[in-house]
Amino acid sequence: MADLRYGAALNRALADAMAEDGDVIVMGEDIAGAGGSFGVTRGLLDRFGAGRVIDTPISEATIAGAAVGAAMGGLKPVFEIMFMDFATLTMDAMVNQAAKARFMFGGQCSLPIVLRTPHGGGLSAGPQHSQCLEAWFAHVPGLKVVCPSDAASAYGLLRGAIADPDPVVFVEHKGLYARKWDAPDDLAVLPLGQAAVLRDGRDATVVCYGAAVHLALAAADGLAAEGTSVEVIDLRTIQPWDEATVLASLARTHRLVIVHEAVEAFGVGAEIAARMADVGFDELDGPIVRVGAPFMPVPFAKGLEAAYQPSAAQVVAAIRKAMGREFSQEA
Protein backbone atom coordinates (compact mmCIF):
# COMPACT_ATOMS: atom_id res chain seq x y z
CA MET A 1 0.00 0.00 0.00
CA ALA A 2 1.17 3.50 -0.74
CA ASP A 3 -0.21 6.97 -1.17
CA LEU A 4 -1.34 7.49 -4.72
CA ARG A 5 -2.63 10.67 -6.27
CA TYR A 6 -5.53 10.57 -8.74
CA GLY A 7 -3.41 12.29 -11.42
CA ALA A 8 -0.49 9.92 -10.85
CA ALA A 9 -2.81 6.93 -11.11
CA LEU A 10 -4.03 8.17 -14.49
CA ASN A 11 -0.44 8.71 -15.57
CA ARG A 12 0.46 5.17 -14.56
CA ALA A 13 -2.57 3.79 -16.39
CA LEU A 14 -1.49 5.54 -19.61
CA ALA A 15 2.09 4.35 -19.25
CA ASP A 16 1.09 0.75 -18.50
CA ALA A 17 -1.36 0.66 -21.41
CA MET A 18 1.26 2.09 -23.77
CA ALA A 19 3.91 -0.34 -22.56
CA GLU A 20 1.56 -3.24 -23.08
CA ASP A 21 0.20 -2.28 -26.49
CA GLY A 22 2.21 -0.47 -29.16
CA ASP A 23 -0.96 0.68 -30.88
CA VAL A 24 -1.96 2.92 -27.97
CA ILE A 25 -1.09 6.54 -28.74
CA VAL A 26 -1.71 9.64 -26.66
CA MET A 27 -2.48 12.98 -28.25
CA GLY A 28 -3.74 16.42 -27.28
CA GLU A 29 -2.84 20.03 -26.67
CA ASP A 30 0.35 20.45 -24.63
CA ILE A 31 0.32 16.83 -23.51
CA ALA A 32 3.80 15.84 -24.69
CA GLY A 33 6.41 18.50 -23.99
CA ALA A 34 4.39 20.21 -21.28
CA GLY A 35 3.02 16.99 -19.80
CA GLY A 36 -0.59 18.17 -19.93
CA SER A 37 -2.38 21.06 -18.28
CA PHE A 38 -2.88 19.01 -15.13
CA GLY A 39 0.29 16.94 -15.51
CA VAL A 40 -1.46 13.68 -16.29
CA THR A 41 0.75 12.86 -19.30
CA ARG A 42 4.03 13.96 -17.72
CA GLY A 43 7.00 11.76 -18.65
CA LEU A 44 5.24 9.85 -21.40
CA LEU A 45 7.08 11.69 -24.19
CA ASP A 46 10.49 10.69 -22.80
CA ARG A 47 9.43 7.12 -22.36
CA PHE A 48 7.46 6.48 -25.54
CA GLY A 49 8.68 9.12 -27.99
CA ALA A 50 7.05 11.77 -30.14
CA GLY A 51 5.55 9.20 -32.51
CA ARG A 52 3.20 7.97 -29.80
CA VAL A 53 2.91 10.98 -27.51
CA ILE A 54 1.73 13.71 -29.83
CA ASP A 55 1.32 17.41 -29.16
CA THR A 56 -1.47 18.74 -31.34
CA PRO A 57 -2.40 22.23 -32.44
CA ILE A 58 -5.41 23.81 -30.74
CA SER A 59 -7.85 22.02 -33.00
CA GLU A 60 -10.23 19.97 -30.87
CA ALA A 61 -12.60 19.06 -33.70
CA THR A 62 -9.79 17.68 -35.83
CA ILE A 63 -8.06 15.91 -32.94
CA ALA A 64 -11.27 13.96 -32.34
CA GLY A 65 -11.88 13.37 -36.04
CA ALA A 66 -8.31 12.18 -36.47
CA ALA A 67 -8.83 9.78 -33.57
CA VAL A 68 -11.70 8.23 -35.53
CA GLY A 69 -9.52 7.74 -38.61
CA ALA A 70 -6.58 6.52 -36.55
CA ALA A 71 -8.78 3.92 -34.84
CA MET A 72 -10.06 2.76 -38.22
CA GLY A 73 -6.40 2.26 -39.10
CA GLY A 74 -5.73 0.04 -36.09
CA LEU A 75 -4.42 2.53 -33.53
CA LYS A 76 -5.93 3.01 -30.08
CA PRO A 77 -5.89 6.78 -29.62
CA VAL A 78 -6.30 8.31 -26.19
CA PHE A 79 -6.72 12.05 -26.61
CA GLU A 80 -6.94 14.74 -24.00
CA ILE A 81 -9.37 17.63 -24.22
CA MET A 82 -7.94 20.18 -21.82
CA PHE A 83 -11.28 21.14 -20.25
CA MET A 84 -14.57 19.34 -20.74
CA ASP A 85 -16.08 22.62 -21.92
CA PHE A 86 -13.86 22.31 -25.01
CA ALA A 87 -15.36 18.91 -25.76
CA THR A 88 -18.24 20.85 -27.29
CA LEU A 89 -15.84 21.40 -30.21
CA THR A 90 -15.45 17.62 -30.71
CA MET A 91 -19.15 16.94 -31.03
CA ASP A 92 -19.32 16.07 -34.72
CA ALA A 93 -16.48 13.58 -34.47
CA MET A 94 -17.76 12.05 -31.25
CA VAL A 95 -21.51 12.08 -31.85
CA ASN A 96 -21.85 11.73 -35.62
CA GLN A 97 -18.72 9.77 -36.45
CA ALA A 98 -17.27 7.78 -33.53
CA ALA A 99 -20.58 6.86 -31.91
CA LYS A 100 -22.14 5.74 -35.18
CA ALA A 101 -19.31 4.02 -37.05
CA ARG A 102 -19.81 0.53 -35.74
CA PHE A 103 -23.56 0.69 -36.15
CA MET A 104 -23.89 2.44 -39.48
CA PHE A 105 -21.14 0.45 -41.17
CA GLY A 106 -22.87 -2.79 -40.22
CA GLY A 107 -20.37 -3.90 -37.59
CA GLN A 108 -17.40 -3.68 -39.96
CA CYS A 109 -15.26 -1.95 -37.37
CA SER A 110 -15.00 -0.93 -33.75
CA LEU A 111 -13.41 2.34 -32.71
CA PRO A 112 -11.29 2.00 -29.55
CA ILE A 113 -11.03 5.70 -28.79
CA VAL A 114 -10.73 7.36 -25.40
CA LEU A 115 -11.47 11.06 -24.95
CA ARG A 116 -9.95 12.06 -21.58
CA THR A 117 -11.14 15.32 -20.13
CA PRO A 118 -11.51 17.09 -16.77
CA HIS A 119 -14.83 18.49 -15.60
CA GLY A 120 -16.03 20.26 -12.50
CA GLY A 121 -15.68 23.45 -10.56
CA GLY A 122 -13.77 24.58 -7.54
CA LEU A 123 -11.00 26.49 -9.29
CA SER A 124 -12.90 29.72 -9.97
CA ALA A 125 -12.34 28.81 -13.59
CA GLY A 126 -15.63 30.34 -14.65
CA PRO A 127 -18.46 29.39 -17.00
CA GLN A 128 -16.27 28.00 -19.83
CA HIS A 129 -13.78 25.93 -17.82
CA SER A 130 -15.91 24.23 -15.18
CA GLN A 131 -18.87 22.46 -16.74
CA CYS A 132 -19.92 18.85 -16.18
CA LEU A 133 -21.26 17.81 -19.58
CA GLU A 134 -21.22 14.02 -19.17
CA ALA A 135 -24.98 13.71 -19.66
CA TRP A 136 -24.60 15.08 -23.20
CA PHE A 137 -22.41 12.12 -24.12
CA ALA A 138 -24.37 9.56 -22.09
CA HIS A 139 -27.37 10.44 -24.22
CA VAL A 140 -25.68 9.22 -27.40
CA PRO A 141 -25.99 5.55 -28.33
CA GLY A 142 -22.53 4.21 -29.19
CA LEU A 143 -20.57 6.22 -26.64
CA LYS A 144 -19.55 5.01 -23.20
CA VAL A 145 -18.98 7.42 -20.34
CA VAL A 146 -16.79 6.85 -17.29
CA CYS A 147 -16.03 9.03 -14.26
CA PRO A 148 -13.73 7.75 -11.50
CA SER A 149 -13.83 8.99 -7.91
CA ASP A 150 -10.43 7.99 -6.51
CA ALA A 151 -6.92 6.94 -7.48
CA ALA A 152 -7.37 3.18 -7.70
CA SER A 153 -10.55 3.43 -9.74
CA ALA A 154 -8.98 6.15 -11.91
CA TYR A 155 -6.21 3.68 -12.78
CA GLY A 156 -8.49 0.69 -13.23
CA LEU A 157 -11.15 2.45 -15.22
CA LEU A 158 -8.70 4.20 -17.54
CA ARG A 159 -7.09 0.85 -18.29
CA GLY A 160 -10.57 -0.56 -18.81
CA ALA A 161 -11.50 2.33 -21.09
CA ILE A 162 -8.37 1.90 -23.23
CA ALA A 163 -8.96 -1.85 -23.49
CA ASP A 164 -12.60 -1.30 -24.41
CA PRO A 165 -13.32 -1.68 -28.14
CA ASP A 166 -15.73 1.26 -28.30
CA PRO A 167 -15.40 5.05 -27.94
CA VAL A 168 -15.23 6.11 -24.30
CA VAL A 169 -15.53 9.59 -22.82
CA PHE A 170 -13.38 9.41 -19.71
CA VAL A 171 -14.22 12.22 -17.33
CA GLU A 172 -11.81 13.26 -14.62
CA HIS A 173 -12.52 15.77 -11.87
CA LYS A 174 -10.13 18.70 -11.63
CA GLY A 175 -10.56 18.86 -7.88
CA LEU A 176 -9.36 15.28 -7.47
CA TYR A 177 -6.06 15.36 -9.41
CA ALA A 178 -3.94 16.29 -6.40
CA ARG A 179 -5.83 14.22 -3.85
CA LYS A 180 -4.23 11.01 -2.65
CA TRP A 181 -5.46 7.72 -1.36
CA ASP A 182 -4.00 4.56 0.02
CA ALA A 183 -3.77 2.25 -2.94
CA PRO A 184 -2.30 -1.20 -3.51
CA ASP A 185 0.91 -1.35 -5.55
CA ASP A 186 -0.71 -3.86 -7.83
CA LEU A 187 -3.63 -1.90 -9.23
CA ALA A 188 -6.46 -3.79 -10.90
CA VAL A 189 -7.89 -3.11 -14.34
CA LEU A 190 -11.60 -2.43 -13.94
CA PRO A 191 -14.20 -3.42 -16.52
CA LEU A 192 -16.65 -0.73 -17.57
CA GLY A 193 -20.28 -0.92 -16.59
CA GLN A 194 -19.80 -2.01 -12.98
CA ALA A 195 -20.64 0.17 -10.01
CA ALA A 196 -18.97 -0.22 -6.60
CA VAL A 197 -20.75 -0.26 -3.27
CA LEU A 198 -18.34 1.88 -1.25
CA ARG A 199 -20.28 1.78 1.98
CA ASP A 200 -23.00 -0.61 3.09
CA GLY A 201 -26.16 0.81 4.62
CA ARG A 202 -29.73 -0.15 5.31
CA ASP A 203 -31.72 3.11 5.49
CA ALA A 204 -31.03 4.88 2.21
CA THR A 205 -29.03 4.50 -1.00
CA VAL A 206 -26.98 7.34 -2.47
CA VAL A 207 -25.88 6.89 -6.09
CA CYS A 208 -23.09 9.20 -7.20
CA TYR A 209 -19.92 9.41 -9.30
CA GLY A 210 -16.71 11.39 -9.52
CA ALA A 211 -16.06 14.02 -6.90
CA ALA A 212 -19.67 13.85 -5.69
CA VAL A 213 -18.80 10.47 -4.18
CA HIS A 214 -16.90 12.29 -1.46
CA LEU A 215 -19.90 14.46 -0.65
CA ALA A 216 -21.99 11.33 -0.30
CA LEU A 217 -19.42 9.63 1.93
CA ALA A 218 -19.22 12.73 4.14
CA ALA A 219 -23.00 12.88 4.35
CA ALA A 220 -23.13 9.20 5.25
CA ASP A 221 -20.54 9.75 7.99
CA GLY A 222 -22.56 12.60 9.41
CA LEU A 223 -25.81 10.68 9.42
CA ALA A 224 -24.19 7.59 10.92
CA ALA A 225 -23.57 9.63 14.07
CA GLU A 226 -27.30 10.01 14.45
CA GLY A 227 -28.02 6.38 13.69
CA THR A 228 -28.96 6.58 10.00
CA SER A 229 -27.21 3.98 7.89
CA VAL A 230 -26.53 5.13 4.31
CA GLU A 231 -25.35 2.94 1.43
CA VAL A 232 -23.08 4.72 -1.04
CA ILE A 233 -22.80 3.48 -4.61
CA ASP A 234 -20.06 4.84 -6.84
CA LEU A 235 -21.47 4.46 -10.33
CA ARG A 236 -17.99 4.59 -11.95
CA THR A 237 -19.46 4.05 -15.42
CA ILE A 238 -22.27 6.43 -16.36
CA GLN A 239 -23.04 4.78 -19.70
CA PRO A 240 -23.78 1.90 -19.63
CA TRP A 241 -24.67 2.26 -15.95
CA ASP A 242 -25.00 -0.61 -13.50
CA GLU A 243 -28.75 -0.70 -13.06
CA ALA A 244 -28.68 -4.10 -11.33
CA THR A 245 -26.45 -2.90 -8.49
CA VAL A 246 -28.57 0.21 -7.93
CA LEU A 247 -31.81 -1.79 -7.99
CA ALA A 248 -30.44 -4.39 -5.57
CA SER A 249 -29.45 -1.65 -3.16
CA LEU A 250 -32.84 0.04 -3.47
CA ALA A 251 -34.45 -3.30 -2.65
CA ARG A 252 -32.54 -3.24 0.65
CA THR A 253 -32.92 0.43 1.63
CA HIS A 254 -36.14 1.48 -0.17
CA ARG A 255 -34.89 5.08 -0.33
CA LEU A 256 -32.89 6.63 -3.15
CA VAL A 257 -30.85 9.79 -3.55
CA ILE A 258 -28.74 10.62 -6.60
CA VAL A 259 -25.91 13.14 -6.40
CA HIS A 260 -23.82 14.77 -9.08
CA GLU A 261 -22.06 18.05 -9.62
CA ALA A 262 -23.61 18.48 -13.07
CA VAL A 263 -26.71 20.61 -13.48
CA GLU A 264 -29.62 18.66 -12.03
CA ALA A 265 -32.09 19.31 -14.85
CA PHE A 266 -32.02 16.65 -17.60
CA GLY A 267 -28.99 15.08 -15.98
CA VAL A 268 -27.69 11.59 -15.21
CA GLY A 269 -29.76 11.63 -12.03
CA ALA A 270 -32.93 12.17 -14.01
CA GLU A 271 -32.31 8.99 -15.98
CA ILE A 272 -31.51 6.91 -12.92
CA ALA A 273 -34.54 8.28 -11.07
CA ALA A 274 -36.82 7.56 -14.00
CA ARG A 275 -35.57 4.00 -14.36
CA MET A 276 -35.87 3.28 -10.67
CA ALA A 277 -39.37 4.79 -10.57
CA ASP A 278 -40.18 2.25 -13.28
CA VAL A 279 -38.37 -1.00 -12.50
CA GLY A 280 -38.01 -0.26 -8.76
CA PHE A 281 -41.41 1.25 -8.07
CA ASP A 282 -42.50 -1.47 -5.66
CA GLU A 283 -39.34 -1.03 -3.62
CA LEU A 284 -39.71 2.71 -3.07
CA ASP A 285 -40.90 3.94 0.31
CA GLY A 286 -40.30 7.61 -0.44
CA PRO A 287 -39.57 10.11 -3.18
CA ILE A 288 -36.40 9.76 -5.24
CA VAL A 289 -34.40 12.89 -4.52
CA ARG A 290 -31.69 14.41 -6.70
CA VAL A 291 -28.85 16.68 -5.70
CA GLY A 292 -27.18 18.56 -8.53
CA ALA A 293 -26.14 22.04 -9.52
CA PRO A 294 -28.83 24.65 -10.12
CA PHE A 295 -29.84 25.49 -13.68
CA MET A 296 -27.33 28.23 -14.30
CA PRO A 297 -23.80 28.57 -15.72
CA VAL A 298 -20.93 27.94 -13.32
CA PRO A 299 -20.08 31.29 -11.74
CA PHE A 300 -16.55 32.63 -11.40
CA ALA A 301 -16.58 34.37 -8.00
CA LYS A 302 -15.47 32.03 -5.22
CA GLY A 303 -18.52 32.63 -3.07
CA LEU A 304 -20.91 32.16 -5.98
CA GLU A 305 -19.18 29.01 -7.12
CA ALA A 306 -19.30 27.56 -3.62
CA ALA A 307 -23.02 28.26 -3.49
CA TYR A 308 -23.40 26.66 -6.93
CA GLN A 309 -21.60 23.39 -6.20
CA PRO A 310 -23.55 20.69 -4.38
CA SER A 311 -22.49 20.22 -0.76
CA ALA A 312 -22.51 17.40 1.78
CA ALA A 313 -25.15 19.34 3.71
CA GLN A 314 -27.41 19.25 0.65
CA VAL A 315 -26.87 15.50 0.40
CA VAL A 316 -27.81 15.10 4.08
CA ALA A 317 -30.96 17.13 3.51
CA ALA A 318 -31.80 15.06 0.44
CA ILE A 319 -31.41 11.80 2.35
CA ARG A 320 -33.70 13.12 5.06
CA LYS A 321 -36.23 14.11 2.45
CA ALA A 322 -36.05 10.69 0.82
CA MET A 323 -36.66 9.19 4.26
CA GLY A 324 -39.62 11.48 4.92
CA ARG A 325 -37.77 13.31 7.66
CA GLU A 326 -36.98 16.59 6.01
CA PHE A 327 -38.44 18.69 8.82
CA SER A 328 -36.86 16.73 11.66
CA GLN A 329 -33.26 16.72 12.95
CA GLU A 330 -30.88 19.46 11.82
CA ALA A 331 -32.27 22.00 14.31
Catalytic positions: 60, 129
Please report how close the Cβ of residue 51 comes to another protein at its closest, in angstroms.
6
Query: 129-158: which residues touch another protein (CB under 8 A)?
Result: 141-142, 144
- Answer left, alpha or beta for residue 180, where phi above 0 means left and psi between -120 and 50 means alpha: beta
The correct pick among 13, 26, 94, 101 for binding another protein (CB under 8 A) is: 101
Nearer to another protein, 142 or 280 (CB): 142
Position 49 contacts another protein (CB under 8 A): no
Query: ω before 240 within 30° of 0 (cis)?
Result: yes
Of 80, 18, 4, the closest CA to residue 46 belongs to 18
Task: Among 37, 88, 110, 124, indicate the residue that binds another protein (CB under 8 A).
Answer: 110
State the minimum distance, in angstroms, from the CB of residue 162 to another protein. 12
Q: Which helix (H) or strand (E) holds 293?
A: strand 289-293
What is the Cα–Cα distance from 225 to 203, expressed in whole angstroms?
Answer: 14
Our finding on whether 103 is near another protein (CB under 8 A) is yes
User: Looking at beta carbons only, is 61 or 247 nearer to another protein?
Assistant: 61
Q: Which are the contacts of 187, defined by CB distance < 8 A and separation ≥ 6?
A: 9, 12, 13, 152, 155, 156
Contacting another protein (CB under 8 A), which of 15, 37, 39, 56? 56
189, with CB counted inside 10 A (0-12, 13-18, 19+), is middle
Say which residues have a Cβ less than 8 Å from residue 164's Cβ, sequence separation at least 6. Answer: 112, 114, 144, 192
Tell the smallest beta-carbon distance from residue 68 to another protein (Å).
Answer: 5
Q: Does 68 bind another protein (CB under 8 A)?
A: yes
Give the binding-site size for another protein (rule: CB under 8 A).
Answer: 48
**Residues engaged in binding another protein (CB under 8 A):** 23, 25, 51-52, 56-57, 59, 61-62, 64-77, 92-93, 96-97, 100-112, 141-142, 144, 163-166, 240
